[in-house]
């Protein structure tokens, strides 16, 4: 699967599951200047959810879960691989909402990173 396919899948699923309903309602209800304020706050909330997934990954590591261990809470899969997947899914969803070509951005950044010095020039 290509990155932009992942973005489309993640964002469309989030829309179907109602995670963007408030944005559509606010777009229809607010004047442009107030909608832009709402959208900045919504963006911050989405970033906090991404951060939350990263934090859950760290908690699994602190709980001595194996790097590739997947365990279940009922039917819900959990573990470091799952939390990293959740992080990527949330990033893909946000990129889809914002219309970001994340695949292009990642390629550009990887090419730039290849030109950087060891540890970005930091002294050991």
pLDDT at 124 over 80: no
Q: Is the pLDDT of residue 84 over 80?
A: yes
Q: For 122, phi and psi rounded to 5 degrees?
A: -70, 145
Distance CA 9, CA 104 (A): 17
Overall number of domains in the chain: 1
pTM of the predicted model as reported, rounded to 2 decimal places? 0.89
- Provide the domain limits for residue 79: 3-121
Predicted confidence (pLDDT) per residue in 95-112, tens digit: 999 999 999 999 999 999
């Amino acid at each position: 699967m290509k990155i932009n396919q992942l973005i489309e899948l993640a964002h469309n699923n989030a829309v179907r599951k109602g995670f963007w309903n408030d944005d559509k309602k606010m777009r229809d209800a607010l004047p442009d200047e107030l909608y832009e304020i709402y959208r900045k706050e919504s963006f911050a909330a989405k970033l906090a959810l991404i951060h939350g997934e990263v934090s859950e990954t760290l908690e699994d590591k602190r709980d001595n879960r194996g790097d590739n261990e997947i365990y279940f809470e009922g039917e819900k899969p959990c573990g470091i691989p799952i939390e990293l997947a959740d992080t990527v899914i949330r990033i893909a969803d946000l990129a889809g909402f914002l219309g970001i070509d994340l695949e292009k951005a990642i390629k550009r950044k990887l090419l730039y990173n290849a030109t950087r010095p060891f540890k970005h020039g930091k002294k050991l």
